Structure 1
Amino acid sequence: MAAVLALMAPVAAQAQADGQRPEVAAAAQAVGDKVVAWRRDIHANPELGNRETRTAALVAEHLRALGLDPKIGIATTGVTAVLKGGRPGPRIALRADMDALPVTERADVPFASKVTTTFRGQQTGVMHACGHDAHTSVLMGVVEALVAMKEELPGEVMFIFQPAEEGPPDGEEGGAEEMLAQGIFKDFKPEAVFGLHVFSTLNAGQIGVHAGPTMAASDRFNIVVKGRQTHGSRPWGGIDPIVAAADVIGTAQTVVSRRQDISKQPVVLSFGAIEGGIRYNIIPDQVEMVGTIRTFDEGMRQQVFADLINVAEKVAQAHGATAVAQVPDTKGNPVTVNDAALTERMLPSLRKVVGADNVVDPGLTMGAEDFSFYAREVPGLFFFVGSTPQGQDPKTAPSNHSPEFFLDESALDIGVRALLQVSLDYLNDPPRG
């Protein structure tokens, strides 16, 4: 409850670090209350990927009120707008994601989500358990701040409010790849793209950034083990897919532990859901399993695919069952790479916001981000903003995607200031040559 009381208190402006642009601190303070209000409203009304109609409408209405001309309905519910500054200069893009997760919220906040939905045939809550509500509201604040500076602003800025970062519904296209496929960079090709993500593994007041490969490639798999239904008292009368599936799960652990050289790059293979049977005394016909693969090396990625298919098919066969292994079963996200030169150039900007001691290198992150698609088109920089309250150990704090994920709202102020500082520093002093 103490955390909730702290959350409800007015969010104090962060102390200005050496070299921070004075207009950044002033702008962040001017939009601070609005950003908090937007975040709480979006948090209480979360929407899954490709269904962010209310959120997209809120964003578009805000952009219009600022005099911009937003394009809507991109990649189903995406919104973009371009701000032309009053002075010549470079082009950049700023991106935020809008979608929530099928998670039932347990965080003790007054604006906790009560929204429910059906996902993969099961009733579940819907929650901004990853912090995309913060990303959307931060970018809304940054838009307002940059519009207020329009006459003195050099260059042009594209604002990207993206749906379905967590993935579109089965059978649909969505996310960053679809935004690009529908041409958002066709007529407006930025020189650089920037994004941020609130992160539970850092305390509020910290910013994390890593040059080069930063977040893992992410691929989803689906394995269906098919047996033959029989009564639970007569297992010999059929073929038990549950036992076979359990053996597949166990043996699949050797794909990483015994088949991959993890001294080269880390690899993760995790099962996330298993479904089979409806009654205690009936052995079912089949079991379905889904999971995720995370890699940083393309060769290792392809080898994991092949090894998992081999394990699923051969282990199932050993039980007299069969396996249909779709590995991967959808298009995955590539590795998120922070352009080394851009990262080095913008590090001083981030240090100006929170101080040099509070900008840390988190190393490789096994989480994935479809920001990676933008960063394959143009140099990109994706950084993390700490969200765990100071004094709480981020190693034990509820993580992103947890039903108890908690955002210290001082992270919103830092997010606004960091994105503004990076944008203004780049626009006013772009790379030469």
Structure 2
Amino acid sequence: MLFSSRLTSLALTIAVVIGAPLAQAAGAAPAAAPAATAPANAANVKAPLPLDELRTFAEVMDRIKAAYVEPVDDKTLLENAIKGMLSNLDPHSAYLGPEDFQELQESTSGEFGGLGIEVGVEDGFVKVVSPIDDTPASKAGIEAGDLIVKINGTPTQGQTMQEAVDKMRGKIGEKITLTLVRDGGTPFDVTLARATIQVKSVKAQMLEPGYGYIRITQFQVKTGEEVGKALAKLRKDNGKKMSGLILDLRNNPGGVLQAAVEVADHFLTKGLIVYTKGRIANSELRFSADPADASEGVPLVVLINGGSASASEIVAGALQDQKRGILMGTDTFGKGSVQTVLPLANDRALKITTALYYTPNGRSIQAQGINPDIEVKRAKLTAEADGDNYKEADLLGHLGNGNGGADKPTTKAKAGKARPQDDDYQMNQGLSLLKGLSVTRGN
């Protein structure tokens, strides 16, 4: 585990740098934690003010106040100007008003209000990047890749992402109807109620004797600590060192950068985990693994898909570059930028992109993503019943076993308890791979 003494000056100054993709919509995981102070300009040199542009700005403001069909106050115009200034930088930079800033702080603690969806914009439509587990959105069957074409009957095409997000937010308990299009099919409505989203970022269980499973839904402040506890519990439940482990990062939109570093460090004993590079000097960070190995070197399969973003890609990239685990699934989202939250006066803040992050081998994931080592697309598993087959031991007068072993006639299989891997093709393939590795290694 990485401790606070190992944080560099930027992490201490800016608090927590982050990595969840896109904007938070109706309870989606945000991209940052509160910061302490803003960094100084690298050059500490102020450029001369662009007087012509400032005159134009003042003239536009005066014209709007004088000629717009309805009265508009100065405060509204200036706030809208600030929002426009941030929104045109990149999809992840934004101006946060008091409510947005408060919600952002709450969400990193794992509890916030909304539907539980991470969204982006594609071809003018609001697109679901990933639903968060155990939230109204996931329980209603909303899936990554769904297009939200209407919100309460109002078309979303042409709206900004923030406008759509604001429409999906509201009082806890109130119902909202989303019109979705899936895989180019016919639009359909989903009605769900806003709720307090309590996200448990880490879930763990034994799939079979010797084989464990850890799912991380998003990277919160305590996720690294929770993964450490999950590894210890799985080892205890198994009674000995595990033969294999599946780490599930599918549909994980990201979160706190430091949490991603801590999670990767649980599986690595040396070498670089991630580094960042930005325009200002103190935006350059390097995080390395310590020798402790909470995972005990267990064979590892990491599940990823198009909903795995940012902090998820940091973990996947580090484990892939260091050849610590086998990545299985489909290409990840491709968000390789780091955002920093800079508090302003009056409970407001700026969330701005300050750096790009790179994997240990120097790969930038921005707009490219992580490719799996073994591509396995989503599929449905269908169990087929065995026919009325007979074995040698069922035949009348059959010979006994040459070594004196007991006969093994046909037996009717008992219906077993449903297991997660029975309905999840990608998980099933990961488990099969781990079993194959165990056989070839003689475990």
Name the TM tier (shorter chain). Answer: under 0.3
Q: Which has the larger radius of gyration?
A: 2
